[in-house]
């Protein structure tokens, strides 16, 4: 039996945000930056890569470190971080890695003969006089490169537009020669930042960062993080360098705007910045994005959801789930770790990660320790949600909890549904199992666990028991 696919799709001790997914051969590869557990800033690690068979998206393989931050000549002391990268296949069939270091505004390029081998530094994007893009008079700073190669040319999309910064105009596209480094066509703006969005159709969803590009049939899809940060939005054009029209929101990492199971303005997770892109795998399209964990902005994990591209090319916003790449709901039996929670909130609403005492997905140990994550800082009114499951004959449910608290977990199968079971827990400093008879109706549904009581507790996992 194939492994089920979860969100996050990588091991819970791995923190790879900014995912750019590609299918090369019979595997899907994900390239991203590399956060640390308990990291103090974004993107502290070297680039690593994971891949999975296209027909087994729950079976991810660690490909190892593909590029070290000290390989860039500007960063031999390792004092700068590797920000979000992208990869494209050049005209020569080799794989080209584009990235920007965190304290400079030039685009670096590395190259490799295989998708996940050891990349070697190649050079910097520059004009025909050898002057680096981002350092010439009039250049806007380069950031978050996204790349697409067609024939002998490569389209390089870059940019960052902070709120209120009138010096940054929007996302840029620069066309490169076949050598993957030399500017063939000077940068042009393809999507406006918030200061320049009035009257453009991008109002409220203007470009912030994370440009990425995909092509579906004859249409270019420009994917980006909007001015509110928690969204990945898209715009479309028939031309890769102009006429992009705003299309909508693809995903929000706090599920804002979704009104199918809650009010549209309600947030069900602590969101933050977002970055990702689309990929077609075995005839289905997915959006890869990331979530915030550990109660900070600096320990992000990759997630993915299946998209529905309509006949007119538009893409409705998708819900965040625990089963994104699974191709359907998870099996309604067995034990599931709490770090799969796609919803985590309290009666105090917040769009963004903010207070260190709020509920969070975290782990024990240090970065790199292969220890499964869990939910910490659970206090009165905390709700953790998991979706979706195919329930068939569930008669009992067990919770594994610890912590100094006296209270009850209430179990529901929808966010505002009736309470189907209550689990009374007591102070304990070890993981303790609490089992109750809970008859869950057959069919596709969710698990929502709400804590009512005193103290601060933790949730490791829950178990669905059929008899």
What pLDDT does residue 29 have?
A: 99
Q: How confident is the model at residue 344 (pLDDT cuts 50, 70, 90)?
A: very high
144 neighbors 211 (Cβ within 8 angstroms) = yes
Is 348 part of the annotated catalytic residue set?
Answer: no
Q: What is the pLDDT of residues 408-436, one digit of tens each?
A: 999 999 999 999 999 999 999 999 999 99
206 neighbors 222 (Cβ within 8 angstroms) = no
Q: Kindly state the DSSP code that residue 43 receives in the 8-state scheme.
A: -
Structure token pair of residue 19: 């995912």
Query: Residue 189: is its pLDDT beyond 70?
Result: yes
User: CA gyration radius for the chain?
Assistant: 22
* Distance in angstroms (rounded) separating the CA atoms of residues 28 and 23: 4
Task: Count Cβ neighbours within 10 Å for each residue of 256-269 and write b for 16 or more, e otherwise.
Answer: bebeebbeeeebbb
**Residue among 270, 274, 214, 263 at smallest CA distance from 42:** 274
Q: How confident is the model at residue 356 (pLDDT cuts 50, 70, 90)?
A: confident
Mean pLDDT of the 5-27 span: 98
213-58-313 Cα angle (round to 5): 30
The overall average pLDDT reported for the chain is 97
Mean pLDDT of the 69-89 span: 98
Query: Residue 334: is its pLDDT beyond 90?
Result: yes
Query: Residue 1: is its pLDDT beyond 70?
Result: no
What pLDDT does residue 467 have?
A: 81
Q: 405: Cβ–Cβ under 8 A, 6 or more apart, which residues?
A: 378, 379, 425, 427, 451, 453, 454, 455, 456, 457
**Residue among 108, 145, 133, 125 at smallest CA distance from 31:** 145
Question: DSSP of 161-194, one letter per residue?
Answer: --TT-TT--EEEEEEE-TTSSBEEEEEEEEEEBG
Q: 205: Cβ–Cβ under 8 A, 6 or more apart, which residues?
A: 226, 227, 228, 231, 233, 246, 249
Ordered by where they begin, the domains of the chain are 20-306 (2.115.10.20), 333-466 (2.60.120.260)
Query: Residue 149: is its pLDDT beyond 90?
Result: yes
What pLDDT does residue 287 have?
A: 99
Question: DSSP of 239-298, one letter per residue?
Answer: BTTB--EEEEEEEETT-TT--SSS-TT---S-B-----EEEEETTEEEEEEEEE-TTSSS
151 neighbors 92 (Cβ within 8 angstroms) = no
69 neighbors 78 (Cβ within 8 angstroms) = yes
Mean pLDDT of the 77-106 span: 98
Query: Residue 280: is its pLDDT beyond 70?
Result: yes
Q: How many percent of the chain have pLDDT more than 70?
A: 100
Query: Residue 44: is its pLDDT beyond 90?
Result: yes
* Distance in angstroms (rounded) separating the CA atoms of residues 15 and 273: 14
Structure token pair of residue 396: 């009992």
> Quick check: pTM over 0.85?
yes
* Distance in angstroms (rounded) separating the CA atoms of residues 459 and 359: 11
171-172-176 Cα angle (round to 5): 150
What pLDDT does residue 2 have?
A: 86
What pLDDT does residue 206 have?
A: 98
Spot the catalytic one: 86, 209, 231, 255: 209
Spot the catalytic one: 18, 20, 72, 86: 18
242-248-249 Cα angle (round to 5): 125
Q: Kindly state the DSSP code that residue 51 receives in the 8-state scheme.
A: E
* Distance in angstroms (rounded) separating the CA atoms of residues 61 and 251: 26
Mean pLDDT of the 28-51 span: 98
Mean pLDDT of the 212-223 span: 98
Is 179 part of the annotated catalytic residue set?
Answer: no
Q: Could you tell me how far CA 253 lies from the centroid of its own chain?
A: 8
Mean pLDDT of the 357-382 span: 97
Query: Residue 167: is its pLDDT beyond 90?
Result: yes
Paired with 234 in beta bridges are: 223, 248
């Amino acid at each position: 039996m194939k492994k089920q696919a979860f969100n996050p799709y990588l091991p819970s001790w791995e923190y790879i945000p900014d995912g750019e997914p590609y299918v090369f051969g019979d595997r899907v590869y994900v390239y991203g930056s590399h956060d640390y557990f308990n990291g103090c800033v974004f993107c502290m690690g070297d680039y690593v890569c994971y891949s999975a068979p296209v027909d087994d998206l729950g079976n991810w393989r660690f490909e190892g470190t593909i590029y070290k931050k000290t390989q860039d000549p500007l960063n031999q002391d390792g004092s700068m971080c590797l920000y979000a990268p992208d990869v494209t296949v050049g005209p020569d069939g080799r794989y080209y890695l584009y990235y920007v270091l965190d304290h400079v505004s030039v685009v670096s390029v590395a190259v490799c003969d295989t998708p996940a081998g050891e990349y070697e530094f190649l050079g910097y994007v520059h004009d025909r006089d050898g002057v680096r893009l981002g350092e010439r008079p009039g250049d806007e700073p380069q950031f978050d490169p996204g790349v697409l190669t067609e024939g002998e040319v490569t389209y390089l999309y870059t940019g960052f537009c902070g709120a209120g910064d009138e010096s940054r105009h929007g996302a840029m596209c620069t066309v490169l020669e076949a050598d993957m480094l030399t500017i063939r066509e000077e940068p042009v703006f393809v999507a406006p930042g918030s200061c320049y969005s009035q009257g453009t159709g991008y109002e409220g969803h203007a470009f912030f960062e994370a440009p990425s590009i995909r092509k579906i049939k004859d249409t270019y899809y420009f994917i980006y993080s909007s001015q509110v940060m928690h969204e990945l939005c898209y715009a479309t054009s028939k031309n890769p360098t102009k006429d992009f029209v705003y299309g909508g929101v693809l995903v929000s990492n706090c599920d804002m705007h979704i009104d199918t199971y809650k009010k549209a303005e309600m947030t069900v997770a602590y969101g933050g910045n977002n970055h990702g892109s689309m990929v077609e795998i075995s005839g289905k399209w997915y959006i890869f994005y990331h979530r915030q964990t550990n109660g900070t902005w600096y320990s992000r994990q990759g997630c993915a959801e299946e998209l529905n591209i309509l006949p007119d090319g538009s893409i409705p916003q998708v819900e965040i789930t625990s089963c994104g790449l699974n191709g359907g709901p998870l099996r309604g039996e067995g034990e599931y770790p709490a770090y799969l929670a796609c919803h985590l909130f309290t009666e105090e609403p917040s769009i963004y990660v903010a207070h260190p005492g709020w509920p969070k997905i975290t782990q024990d140990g240090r970065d790199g320790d292969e220890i499964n994550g869990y939910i910490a800082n659970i206090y009165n009114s905390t709700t953790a949600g998991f979706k979706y499951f195919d329930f068939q004959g569930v008669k009992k449910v067990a919770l594994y909890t610890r912590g100094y608290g006296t209270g009850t977990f209430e179990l529901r199968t929808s966010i505002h549904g009736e309470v189907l079971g209550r689990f009374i827990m007591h102070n304990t400093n070890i993981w303790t199992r609490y089992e109750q008879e809970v008859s869950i109706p057959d069919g596709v549904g969710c698990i929502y666990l709400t804590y009512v009581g005193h103290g601060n507790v933790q949730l490791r996992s829950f178990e669905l028991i059929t008899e």
